Amino acid sequence: MFENLFRLDRKVAIVTGAGNGLGRAFSLGLAAHGATVICADRNLEGADETASLAKQSRGVAEALHVDVADESSVDTMWNKIAAEYGRIDILINNAGIATKTARTHEFSLEDWDQLMAINLRGVFLVTRRALALMLPGPGSIINIASIAALRGYWPGFPSLAVNYSTSKAGVIGFTRQVAAEYAKEKIRVNAIAPGWHGGTALGAARRASVTPDEIAAFEEAIHRRIPMGYRGTPDDLVGLVVYLASDASHYVTGQVIAHDGGWDAIVA
Ligand SMILES: NC(=O)c1ccc[n+]([C@@H]2O[C@H](COP(=O)([O-])OP(=O)(O)OC[C@H]3O[C@@H](n4cnc5c(N)ncnc54)[C@H](O)[C@@H]3O)[C@@H](O)[C@H]2O)c1
């Protein structure tokens, strides 16, 4: 009775930001559990590589170009998906960026606007079209927020930025509202708030704008603060994504689940 609880056979899934980092791990994890996975990214080469890796493990995947911040690009992608598959069962809103960091009184409007267009407007644009294709339901939408949405963090220097934290808090509000609107149709909407997961390109802009000593201070500060004492990896998140995508979580909606080695459980 319970042996197929996590299987995703005959499900069509889309992962945005699938060309690198967490999105690549999510795509491979969903494919390994039987889903057909559309790997969408503005970096088509990266998305192609993810789809090839999924196929090498006998998964079913294809790559599509999308810039989630651009309405016409999102529409083009969804038109292709509608024509090819006619439906979508699982959406992972994962595409996101971080900019260089600074305290708020020194923060640039350009970095604020650029990030909001991808991290927040992008989630709205992609989800709006996904819902139209998911109805009459069921379906599962998983939004990638961050522990940065849950509380502030100031180890004495800028390691997080106000644009990023604000966008991810917005993703959580978006998650709860959409969950409420579509619960009757069994379209479930949940958010994951990852802590510090290494091996991705997310911090590249920050790393490029600070000295090696500052990077070392940052690494030391976060490791000291994580109760489990180490960073997660993208692969560590796959179990939670498969759980939320599958029938194993069929009565779970509107939730935010931190995946953070205990970061959010303690007072630093
Ligand atoms: N790595 C972490 O520790 C961590 C922690 C919390 C939240 N997150 C979130 O996880 C998500 C993935 O981050 P990551 O660490 O894998 O970063 P990453 O930079 O390695 O990967 C992000 C991917 O998103 C794509 N992307 C960026 N802008 C896009 C756009 N406009 N349209 C389409 N694709 C776009 C990039 O090309 C890239 O392939 C982000 O939303 C990030 O905020 C990551």
Dist CA 181 CA 146 (whole Å): 23
DSSP code at position 235: G
What does the pLDDT read at residue 65?
A: 98
Two structure tokens written together for 106 = 């020194």
Cα 145 off chain centre by: 7
Dist CA 23 CA 41 (whole Å): 9
What does the pLDDT read at residue 1?
A: 81
pLDDT band at 165 (very low <50, low <70, confident <90, very high): very high
Share of the chain above pLDDT 90, in %: 96
Instruction: Please indicate, yes or no, whether the overall pTM of this predicted structure exceeds 0.95.
Output: yes
For 42-85, how does the pLDDT look when each residue is reduced to its tens digit (9 = 90+)? 999 999 999 999 999 989 999 999 999 999 999 999 999 999 99
The residue-averaged pLDDT of 263-268 equals 92
User: Which of 16, 22, 91 has most ligand 1 atoms within 8 Å of CB, for mutation?
Assistant: 22
User: Which of 15, 50, 68, 200 has most ligand 1 atoms within 8 Å of CB, for mutation?
Assistant: 200
d(CA 46, ligand 1 centre) in Å: 12
Mean pLDDT of the chain: 97
197 lines ligand 1 (CB under 6 A): yes
Cβ atoms of 122 and 44 closer than 8 Å = no
Q: Nearest-CA neighbor of 191 among 178, 179, 175?
A: 175
Compute, in degrees rounded to 10, the torsion defined by CA atoms 218, 223, 225, 226. Answer: 140
d(CA 210, ligand 1 centre) in Å: 20
Two structure tokens written together for 86 = 């006619």
What does the pLDDT read at residue 105?
A: 98
Q: Nearest-CA neighbor of 186 among 142, 252, 129, 93?
A: 252
CA angle 128, 133, 134 (to 5 degrees): 95
Dist CA 52 CA 16 (whole Å): 16
93 lines ligand 1 (CB under 6 A): no
What does the pLDDT read at residue 206?
A: 87
116 lines ligand 1 (CB under 6 A): no
Instruction: Report helix angle 71-84 to 122-134, nearest 10.
Output: 20
Concerning whether 164 is annotated as a catalytic residue, the answer is yes
Q: Is pLDDT larger for residue 234 or for residue 203?
A: 234
For 70-129, how does the pLDDT look when each residue is reduced to its tens digit (9 = 90+)? 999 999 999 999 999 999 999 999 999 999 999 999 999 999 999 999 999 999 999 999
* Burial track 62-97 (b if 16+ CB lie within 10 A, e otherwise): bbbbbbbbbeebbeebbeebeeeeeebbbbbbbbbb
Question: Which of 85, 153, 164, 251 is labelled catalytic?
Answer: 164
Dist CA 216 CA 14 (whole Å): 36
Q: Which residues contact 53 (CB under 8 A, 6 or more apart)?
A: 24, 28
Residue whose CA lies nearest to ligand 1 atom number 1? 197
Two structure tokens written together for 230 = 């180490």
d(CA 41, ligand 1 centre) in Å: 10
- Whether omega before 155 lies within 30 degrees of 0, making that bond cis, reads no
For 15-30, how does the pLDDT look when each residue is reduced to its tens digit (9 = 90+)? 999 999 999 999 999 9
Which superfamily, per CATH, for 12-262? NAD(P)-binding Rossmann-like Domain (3.40.50.720)
Which ligand 1 atom lies nearest to the CA of residue 20?
A: 39
Compute, in degrees rounded to 10, the torsion defined by CA atoms 219, 225, 229, 231. Answer: -50
Q: Nearest-CA neighbor of 123 among 90, 82, 172?
A: 172
